[in-house]
Structure 1
Amino acid sequence: MSSAPLHDSGHEEPLTGEAPLAGGISPQELKDVFRNYPSGVALVTADDGTRAIAITVTSVISVSAEPPLLVFSASALSSSTPVLLGSKTVVVHILTDENAELAKLGATSGIDRFADTDAWERMPTGEPRFKGVDTWIRGEVVNHFEAGTSTLIVVHALEAMPNPERTGQPLVYHDRTWHTIGDGSRIPDPRRA
């Protein structure tokens, strides 16, 4: 596993707080734009051998089908990030409205996220996995990149539990609150009219 700064094409300085890029919008302007951009919600768990962590993320994206790669970001301010960076594998739980309490659990600071021992278990490979989440991906951390005040973590998917017959509706984070996407939110496809 290697760690390298993320570079902009043609730009030699890393995209970190150490070397500010010329111009650009303010941090608040970027936040204002993205608070109106809905994101899926996932809970990432890992264990680096010192402790287990669970963190809620809204930045999971699939970046390649061959090889199967996904990416998410973790804030440098999070106490969970060092464990993520020291872990060889992670479990990405794709959450539904039925798992909203897990999203809140992973987003709350200063609590023992594993206190309810009935809510989670160790996978045969050792990673902590929360029960009741019907879609998840277990993967190997293959790279990470510093990107400003965050770290992008690249994961090679090794095992998955996709559930096309899930009972819950997708959980989405939008405008600083949780939402669901259901049949009532579907927009008819004009190409099929």
Structure 2
Amino acid sequence: MTVRTVKKADGVDAEGAAGTADGAGAVSAQVFRDVMACLAMPVAVVSTVDAAGRWHGATLGSVVSLSLDPPLVMFALGHGTGVHRPVCDSRRFCVSILAAEQRETAERFAGPAADRFAGDVVLLDGLPAVGAAAGWLACTRTELVEAGDHTIVIGRIDDALRGPQGAGGPLLYHQRRYHRLGGPAELYQTAYARRPA
């Protein structure tokens, strides 16, 4: 086993990205974003209906499973986003897990609100959802947790369906770009090990 210490030198981290820290060890927002861009995140659309019957939805990369018993899901919404208030005020919401082929859908739900539901829409338990998704979760909100400039939304899963595109893999977001799965990691490791020197 090899153990080494990663250090910052002259304000530059181990990968060469400029970093800033205050006395408490806080990093700048840009450095934090750059480091978090190293994570591959699943891409989903969270949608709901407000009291007036209007549909709201947005692309998110923060959707994760939280519990199996009871089945819970959670995600974070920025306070300044247009979907924050409608989702937090509503008791129910839907999560559409986007398939690898749905990059255009992800971009549309990250764009102007008026255009978001212009594509294929289905209803799941009365909630608007993205058509041809890899999967859907119809949820009842159980808890809101304030965390910095975001609200963590926790919901109980009332219904779950795997879509027709589920076998093709999910849409992922990594290094500020959309991606699809390329295959199991062990295949790449084997191919790399066999590559001539």
TM-score normalised by L of structure 1 = 0.77
Q: 1:187, CA displacement in angstroms?
A: 2.5
Post-superposition CA distance 1:150-176 (Å, at most 9, x none): 111001111000359834232110111
Unaligned runs of 5+ in 2: 1-23, 190-197
Which whole-Å CA distance do the structure 2 matches of 1:47 and 1:167 have between them? 29
Distance 1:158 1:33, change over 3 A: same
**Structure 1 unmatched ranges of 5 or more:** 1-21
C-alpha displacement at 1:78, in angstroms?
A: 0.6
Aligned partner of residue 29 in structure 1, secondary structure? helix
Sort the Cα spacing of 1:32 and 1:187 in 2 relative to 1 into closer, same or farther, 3 A: same
Cα distance in 1 between the residues matched to 2:47 and 2:38: 27
Q: How does 1:7-18 map to 2 (within 5 A)?
A: none
Q: Tell me which residue corresponds to 1:121.
A: 122
The answer to whether the 8 Å contact 2:55/2:128 transfers is: yes
Distance 1:163 1:127, change over 3 A: closer
Q: State the distance in 1 between where 2:44 and 2:135 align.
A: 10
Partners in 2 of 1:170 and 1:132 — Cα distance? 12
In structure 2, the residue matched to 1:65 is 68
What is the match of residue 166 of structure 2?
A: 166
Matched with 1:14 is none
Is 1:48–1:88's contact at 8 Å kept on the other side of the alignment? no
Question: What is the aligned partner in structure 2 of residue 144 from structure 1?
Answer: 144
Contact kept, 8 Å, 2:133 with 2:163, in 1: the verdict is: no
Count of residues in Structure 1 that have an aligned counterpart in Structure 2: 165
State the match for 2:77 in structure 1.
Answer: 74
Q: 1:163 to 1:57 in 2, by over 3 A?
A: same
- Please state how far the C-alpha of 1:188 moved relative to its aligned partner: 4.2
C-alpha separation between the residues in 2 aligned to 1:167 and 1:68?
22
> Using the alignment, how far apart are the partners of 1:165 and 1:171 within structure 2?
11
Match of 1:35 in 2: 37
AA aligned to 1:186 is: A
- Give the whole-Å Cα distance in 1 for the aligned partners of 2:145 and 2:114: 28
Residues of 2 paired with 1:92 and 1:110: CA distance? 17
> Are the aligned partners of 1:40 and 1:173 in contact in 2 as well (CA < 8 Å)?
yes
Alpha-carbon spacing, 1:164–1:126, altered in 2? closer, same or farther (3 Å): closer
Alignment match of 1:87 (pick from 68, 80, 90): 90
Structure 1 residues 131 and 24, CA gap change in structure 2 (3 angstroms) = same
Q: Which residue of 1 aligns with 2:20?
A: none
SS at match of 1:111: helix
**Conserved? CA contact 1:46–1:84, under 8 Å:** yes
CA radius of gyration, larger in: 2
Whether contact under 8 Å (2:76, 2:153) holds in the other structure is: yes
